[in-house]
Amino acid sequence: MSGKKIGRPTDNPKPIRMGIRMNPDILEKLDKYCEKNNITRSEAVRQAINMLIGQK
């Protein structure tokens, strides 16, 4: 058996994992935003970072 992972191939892999701390109020706002926009927490954070640095 080869050492390759099984999963969907992607043109934009995201190998870096990051953990953050936040208070319950911010997490609730994040979850509401994600539910409303049908995106994951990770995608919302990536979008926010891009907005902060002026991209997309």
Packing angle between helix 24-37 and helix 41-52, nearest 10 degrees?
100
Measured at the alpha carbon of residue 31, what is the angle toward residues 27 and 36, in degrees to the nearest 5? Answer: 150
Residue 3 lies in a domain: no
Q: What is the 3-state secondary structure (H, E, C) of the chain?
A: CCCCCCCCCCCCCCCCCCCCCCCHHHHHHHHHHHHHHCCCHHHHHHHHHHHHCCCC
Domain count, the chain: 1
Q: What is the structure's pLDDT at 23?
A: 98
Domain that holds residue 43: 21-56
Q: What is the structure's pLDDT at 7?
A: 76
Give this prediction's pTM: 0.75
Residue 38 lies in a domain: yes
Residue 46 lies in a domain: yes
Residue 35 lies in a domain: yes
Residue 11 lies in a domain: no
Q: What is the structure's pLDDT at 16?
A: 92
Model pLDDT for residues 1-56, shown as the tens digit of each residue: 566 677 788 888 889 999 999 999 999 999 999 999 999 999 999 999 999 999 75
Q: What is the structure's pLDDT at 32?
A: 98
